[in-house]
Structure 1
Amino acid sequence: MYQERVLSGMRPTGSLHLGHYHGVLKNWVRLQHDYPCLFFVADWHALTTNYDDPRGIDGATWDMVIDWLAAGVDPEKAVLFIQSQVPEHAELHLLLSMMTPLGWLERVPTYKDQQEKLTHKDLTTYGFLGYPLLMSADILIYRADKVPVGEDQLPHVEFTRELARRFNHMYGREPGFEEKAKEAVKRLGSKRARSYEHFRTRFQQDGDAGAVAKAHALLDEVENLAHEDRERLCGYLEGTGKMILVEPGALLTEASKMPGLDGQKMSKSYNNTITLREDEASVTQKVKRMPTDPARVRRTDAGDPARCPVWQLHEVYSDDEVKGWVQAGCRSAGIGCLECKQPVIDGILREQAPMRERAQRYLDRPALLREIVAAGNDKARQLARETMADVREAMGLGYR
């Protein structure tokens, strides 16, 4: 029986900044309390654009995982692992490439977008063309039904859904499938069988997607439902075959509202970041040097917070009382810019304090960090092996 499962990953870029925390990691920390979660280092994905210089991936990986743990990701609640240490990702990617139309890859929106942005790179490689397929393999190998993404990544999730649907349609048709599915319906019991057929009709005749969810909920209620019967019933419900690969759904996440030190989006490429574990003196100096409303040339000049990058940080770190103080003080020149910046400095340092404390444990004991990831690699690989056994069997590669 398939269970709810969340999967998400990040390319190893080294130490993470507060934009990563507010855009991704806070959400991971919340999700780990609600679902079984797998979070992975996408080191093979790093090679799709940095294939010519892979130096630093190893160090960047460990720095990034420390930041995950510092942010509150709990290895007791979530599986943390490295993509390349689970070779089944590559096997599924290869097998999916045999049945993926070339046009599907070329139409992924980020394909041409990245080519236009990274003009200094030669991206005429299969690795770059095929990275959406590798991304799909990352999701499908764990039968993850929930993928937290921003709005710009929704096409990748839909691409993965189409791949799963195509795979199940092509390889899920076992001999005598319909007869076996009907027998499985009878084993639900007369009352549940009638409900199942009702939901199946509503979906296949009327296109009612809600009926699919209700049918899956019905199946979840059935104790001791055989794995093979569940696969057949899921495929019969949606008009495919056995549901070997699970179609994932998107968990839409809000875009990070964390601005950089210059008012633009916080990004390493803009050199406007504060890292999660940056020391207090550096944080203080960076915020004090931030540009402010250009109208405030002198301390006595009135300003407008809407034109000041510091105000954007107050939106993240200050409560209503402090924000009211800033609005009134800036517009009347009652407070200076350095006074205005101090609550932001205090807010950032408060947020970082527990992160530094959590991180120190792993900085002092590097072996503990590697033990956590090694255990995560083993757990992830066990799940991946289960999927690949079914995939190989479906494609005639079982060799029993």
Structure 2
Amino acid sequence: MPSSSSRPVILTGDRTTGPLHLGHYVGSLRNRVTLQHTHEQYVLLADAQALTDNADDPAKVRRNVIEVALDYLAIGIDPELSTICVQSALLALAELTLLYLNFVSVARLERNPTIKDEIRMRGFGRDIPAGFLCYPAAQAADITAFKATVVPVGDDQVPIIEQTNELVRRLNRQIGHPLLPEARALISQTGRLPGVDGDAKMSKSQGNAVPLSASDSEIAAAVQRMYTDPNHLRASDPGQVEGNVVFIYLDAFDPDVEAVADLKAQYRRGGLGDMALKRRLTNILQATIAPIRERRAALGRDPDAIMDMLRTGAKRGRAITEQTKEEIITGLGLFRL
């Protein structure tokens, strides 16, 4: 049955298009581990959303449901504290998406900055999959079905939360009372982690990500590829810290803040080589990922346990989302048999 917990409700999740990486870890995953102790947290394995631009390869989407679930468990998301759900197993989400599309225009969907950027990045032009264009309505369905009031997102996703709240206000006006709560975007204090090639966004599809299952040798190779300062040709040369990918990663992962500050000062005045910096970062990332990788491998040896967890999550998620769907349909006065 739906929980009667008075704790704030969080909805979060990831598209199941591939294993998760350090960008996900910094941007959201490690926050989820903390927040599950203070919030009622639902985590979606967003396979239906992944199909919006991967419909030609459903096997990839299906396969990565388990891969992402393993990443969740390996980084410390506890299924006793967080409900992990497969999106496509919650039919109420699809029904609410279809319903919500009657309350938003195509023009409004196209104006959403997040959607505009994603369309441009993927090179769709006007050949946009309808499901992809309708993503804000689907996201609104996900958030409102759980009556989430907190949604951890990157700053590029804030327009999605704003559009969700627009739909919430319109639905509440139509229903005549505040059935659905508005949601607040929770943005990570750590800025977006760039790709190892210096690109503004770490991405599985761009091949510039460090997966949470990376081996020590893969981590070392990724760090060696990292952009530093092209004008820092010798260790004795003064170097630029701003925009230096190695320092961005050290800020995100090195626990010794004072030591990093000293390294920045030394780099700026000259006398610190890029290789010394990269060795330090390699050691830190290897120490960060090794226990995650080992837990992931151990969990992967018991696939039946993973499936049992997903079935339990689906049962919990259905109870919540079906109840919300019925409340909305009743509130709108739609015909029921």
Give me the TM-score of the superposition, normalised by structure 1: 0.74
* 1:351 equivalent among 284, 288, 292: 288
- Deviation string for 1:281-319 (max 9, x for gaps)? 2212332454544345456x4341527432333323332
| Structure 2 residue identity aligned to 1:310 | V
Q: Given the alignment of the two structures, is residue 162 of structure 1 paired with residue 99 of structure 2, yes or no?
A: no
Structure 1 distance, partners of 2:225, 2:171, is 55
**Structure 1 residues 74 and 295, CA gap change in structure 2 (3 angstroms):** same
What is the aligned counterpart of 1:312 among 228, 248, 261?
248
**Which residue of the partner structure matches residue 57 of structure 1?**
61
Aligned to 2:275: 338
C-alpha change, 1:296 and 1:29, in structure 2 (3 Å) is same
- Indicate conservation of the 8 Å contact 1:389/1:398, yes or no: no
Instruction: Give the percent of matched residue pairs that are identical in Structure 1 and Structure 2.
Output: 33
User: Which of 154, 160, 185 is 1:250 aligned to?
Assistant: 185
2:82 matched residue in structure 1 = 78
For 1:142, the equivalent position in structure 2 comes to: 146
Classify 1:2/1:166 alpha carbon distance in 2 versus 1 (closer, same or farther; 3 Å). farther
Task: Note the 1:315-394 alignment, pairs <5 A.
Answer: 315-318=251-254, 319-323=256-260, 326-327=263-264, 330=267, 334=271, 336-394=273-331
Compared CA separation, residues 311 and 162, structure 1 to 2 (3 A): closer
Q: Distance in 2 between matches of 1:380 and 1:50?
A: 24
**Matches of residues 255-266 of structure 1 in structure 2 within 5 Å?**
256-265=191-200, 266=202
Residue pairs, 1:23-34, within 5 angstroms: 23-34=27-38
* SS of structure 2 residue aligned to 1:306: coil
Shift of 1:335: 5.0
Structure 1 residue 133: deviation in Å?
0.9
Measure, in 1, the Cα distance between the counterparts of 2:103 and 2:18. 35
Structure 1 counterpart of 2:136: 132
CA contact (8 A) 1:93 1:133 kept: yes
Shift of 1:87: 0.6
CA distance in 1, matches of 2:154, 2:226: 28
SS in 1 for 2:59: coil
1:20 aligned to 2:24?
Answer: yes
Match of 1:37 in 2: 41
Question: Residues 282-293 of structure 1: matches in 2 within 5 Å?
Answer: 282-293=218-229
Q: CA deviation at 1:333?
A: 6.2
Q: How far is the alpha carbon of 1:336 from its aligned partner?
A: 4.2
What SS does structure 1 have at the residue aligned with 2:44? strand
CA separation of 1:396 and 1:343: change in aligned 2, threshold 3 A: same
Q: Is the 8 A contact 2:27 2:154 kept in 1?
A: no
What's the offset of the Cα at 1:374? 1.2
Q: Could you tell me which amino acid in structure 1 is paired with residue 95 of structure 2?
A: E
Distance 1:164 1:151 in 2: 21
Which sections of structure 1, spanning at least 5 residues, go unmatched? 173-240
Partner Cα separation in structure 1 for residue 22 and residue 313 of structure 2 = 25
Task: Give the Cα separation in 1 of the matches to 2:181 and 2:269.
Answer: 59
Distance (Å, rounded) in 2 between the aligned partners of 1:168 and 1:118: 35
Asked whether the 8 Å contact 2:114–2:160 carries over to 1, the reply is no
Choose the corresponding residue for 1:110, options 107, 114, 128. 114
Q: Distance in 1 between matches of 2:36 and 2:124?
A: 39
Residues 76-85 or 145-154, more deviating: 145-154
How many Å separate the matches in 2 of 1:159 and 1:353?
39
* Counterpart secondary structure, 1:14: coil
| Alpha-carbon distance in structure 1 between the residues aligned to 2:120 and 2:225 | 34
